[in-house]
Structure 1
Amino acid sequence: MIIEGNDPTVEPSFTLRNRLTRQLWNSVWLFLFRPSPRPLHAWRAFLLRVFGARLGTDVHVYPAVKIWAPWNLDIGNNVGIADGVTLYNMSFLRIGDYAVISQGAHLCGGSHDYNSPNFQLIAEPITVEKHVWICAEAFISQGVTLPPGAVVAARSVVSKPLEHSWTVYAGVPAKPIGKRTPHDK
C-alpha cells in the first residue's frame, strides 16, 4: 500500500486508487458519519462495512471517531469506541471483543523511518485483544499488541507490545502498576 523509495516532498506516498478511496471515505465520514446522531450506531456500522470494515455485533462507534481506512479495520463484539478517538490505521487494526477505547485515545499505525534519507513512511498493525480498556487520551504506537484484559491508563504512551494480560499500565512509557481480576465473557 505504501510506495517505497519515493521522494515524499514531491511524490505521493500512496497509490492513486488508495488516495481516491480515502477521499471518498473522508467525504462519507464528513457528510454521513460525523453528523449522525449519537444513538445511530447501526448506521455508522453500516457505513464502515460499506468501506470494508469487519465488525461484530453490538459495536458502538461514536460519530466523532476519526478512522483513516475502514478497510483495515476488524472490530469484535460488544466494543465501544468513544468520541474523539483517532484510529490512524495505515496498517491493519484489530480490536477484540469487549474492548473499550475512551475519548481522545490515538491508535497510530504509521510513522516514518527516521534513518531513511527521505523519511520513508512505514506502517505496522496494532492488535487490541479482548477485554482491553484504552483510557482517555492514551497513545498506542504502530506494531503494538495489547494483551487480553490490559488497561492503558489515561494519557499513557505504549510504544512496544505489552507483556502481561489483566494488568494495568500507566505512564510514559507505560509500565505495569497493578493487576485486574481476570474474568470470562
Structure 2
Amino acid sequence: MKGPPPVADAHDEEVRARIARGLVYTESETAFLAFGRRTEQIFEYNHTPPREAERRRSLLAEILGSVGERVVLLPPFHAAFGSNTHIGDDFFGNVNLTCVDDVAIRIGDGVMIAPSVTLTTTGHPVHPSRRADFGRFSEPIVIEDKVWIGSNVVVLPGVRIGYGSVIGAGSVVSRSIPPMTIALGTPCRVVRDITDEDLTTRLAGQ
C-alpha cells in the first residue's frame, strides 16, 4: 500500500525547495522521501507471469504516480521510486525501461518506447568532493503525446521531448527537442521536421 507521506518539518521543506531548484542534495538529506520508493512492488511486477494481466495492472497502479488506460509495460522495468513516474493512455514500453525518477517523469498519451531506454532525472556534480554522500541534482523530464523513442536512448535531466517527435536509437538527449521533429545522435540533435510526406512512407508494396 502507498500510505500517506510523513509530516514534513522545516528541514524537509528546505531540502524539497533545493531539489525543486535543481540544486545539489545528498542521500542522507532525502531519507524522509524513502516512503515513495516502490521497490517491493517493482520486484513483484517483474516476476508476475504474463498470464496474470490483471495482477500486473494492479501492481502498476500501486507503483506509478498515475497510469492511464491501455498501458503496456513489458518487464523487466526499473525505477528509483516509481511513484514519481506518470504515464498517460495508450502507452507501450518495451523491456528494460529504466526510470531514475528522483523527481517527476511525465509521459503523455500514445507514447512508444523501445527496449533498453533510460530516463534519468538525476545527475551528479563534476567535482568529486561534491559527490560525498551521493551528492546529486535532479530536474523533471517531460515526454509529450505521440513521441517514439528508439532503442538504447538515454534522456537526461530537465529534457522535454515535444509532441510527435522521434528520437533515433542510441541517442543521448541532453537538450529539449521541439515537436514534430526527428532527432538523433550523441548529443542528440534535430535532423529534420516530420511532414505530410512521411504519411506516404513504408506503404505496402514500397
Given that residues 41 and 62 in structure 1 are in contact (C-alpha distance below 8 angstroms), is that contact kept between their aligned partners in structure 2?
Answer: no
Which amino acid in structure 1 is aligned with residue 46 of structure 2? R
* Higher mean C-alpha deviation, range 33-42 or range 74-83: 33-42
Which amino acid in structure 1 is aligned with residue 71 of structure 2? V
Q: Does 1:46 align with 2:58?
A: yes
TM-score between both structures, scaled by the size of structure 2: 0.75
Cα-to-partner distance string for 1:58-102 (whole Å, 9 max, x where unaligned): 011112111221211111100011111111111100000000111
Given that residues 64 and 86 in structure 2 are in contact (C-alpha distance below 8 angstroms), is that contact kept between their aligned partners in structure 1?
Answer: no
Cα-to-partner distance string for 1:100-145 (whole Å, 9 max, x where unaligned): 1110011011111225842331111000000101100001001000
Deviation (angstroms), 1:49? 2.1
TM-score between both structures, scaled by the size of structure 1: 0.83
How many residue pairs get aligned? The number is: 176
- Corresponding residue of 1:82: 94
- Corresponding residue of 2:147: 132
CA RMSD of aligned residues (A): 2.7
Radius of gyration: which is bigger? Answer: 2
* Higher mean C-alpha deviation, range 100-109 or range 37-46: 37-46
Q: Does 1:147 align with 2:159?
A: no
Structure in which a larger fraction of residues adopt helix = 2
Deviation (angstroms), 1:47? 1.5
- Corresponding residue of 1:171: 185
- Corresponding residue of 1:122: 137
- Corresponding residue of 1:107: 119
Change (3 A) 1:76 1:41: farther
Query: Which of 42, 56, 69 matches 1:29?
Result: 42
Percent sequence identity is 23
Deviation (angstroms), 1:181? 3.8
Deviation (angstroms), 1:39? 5.7
